[in-house]
Amino acid sequence: MNQIIVVPDPLNPEDELERLARRYKAAGGLGIQVLNTLGTQADGLLNRLPVAVQDQLTDATRAALTQALGAASRSRGVVPDQAEWLNATVSAAMGAAGGFGGLPTALAELPVTTTLLLRVIEGVAEEHGFDPSADSVRFDCIQVFAAAGPLEHDDGSDIAFLSARMALSGAAMQAMITRVAPRLAVVLGQKLAAQTVPVLGAAAGAAINFSYTKYYTDMAHVHFGLRRLSVEADQPHEAMVERLRTQVLALK
């Protein structure tokens, strides 16, 4: 049975652009605050991981993304989308469980968390009137992961992820996953390393998963909010990206 997508009411472009700019600007702060609270700097976290894990992290992330692409879509046909606070809470519980047993359980939790994050992104796409089962929308859902991770300093340059676009095909989807995986691997690697900290592993996993879920929810709203605005205003998507860039810079 085809899924019914509810088309949201039309937006005021200027008001929505300002709202999206504020959401984009504020998105990364929580993750950085979490690490500072734990007394750990993001730049040194990856060095905590065993060399073998560091070497395999990109491949593991690519595999997790590929697995999540199918699992997230299938789960939406069984379990309805949840409120944002509940998604973040469930993600935090997963992070705590992953950190409780150190690196082995953290690695086992990695694809589960990736699936949850992708599922959340798909839910946001539908909220903005897009069909998550459409190939073009699934492509965009993976593309959201190209945004700067919540543990990275974001100076606004990563807004370019919103304008990237490729011809749609199965090969293009795999190419997108391959392009996104190294960057996401750094973000998830920082999470894995924090989860291996003695005693604090479970707490770190919960706090970081919570902030990741909040961050990628915000990035998905920005991404699909812009796509929706470009359709409603009948303007090129690249033009909307530039207008958002102007709004973000104006908030400094």
Structure confidence at residue 1 (pLDDT): 46
Query: Please, which residues have CB within 8 angstroms of residue 241's CB and are 6 or more apart in sequence?
Result: 159, 162, 163, 226
**pLDDT attached to residue 12:** 78
CA pair distance 111, 109, nearest whole angstrom: 6
Strands (E), the chain: none
Residue 122 has what pLDDT? Answer: 93
C-beta of residue 103 within 8 angstroms of C-beta of residue 188? no
Name residue, tokens 């694809």: 111
Nearest one of 123, 103, 124 to 60, comparing CA atoms: 103
CA distance 155 to 29: 12
Q: How many CA atoms lie within 13 A of 206 on its CB side?
A: 11
* Angle (deg, nearest 10), helices 84-100 and 201-232: 150
Could you read off the pLDDT tens digit of each residue along the chain, which spans 252 residues? 455 555 566 667 888 899 999 988 888 666 656 655 655 555 567 788 888 888 899 999 999 999 998 888 788 777 777 888 888 899 999 989 888 888 889 899 999 999 999 999 999 999 999 998 888 898 889 988 877 655 455 555 555 665 555 566 667 788 888 888 888 888 888 888 888 876 678 888 888 888 889 889 998 999 999 999 988 888 888 888 889 888 888 886
**Whole-number pLDDT of residue 101:** 85
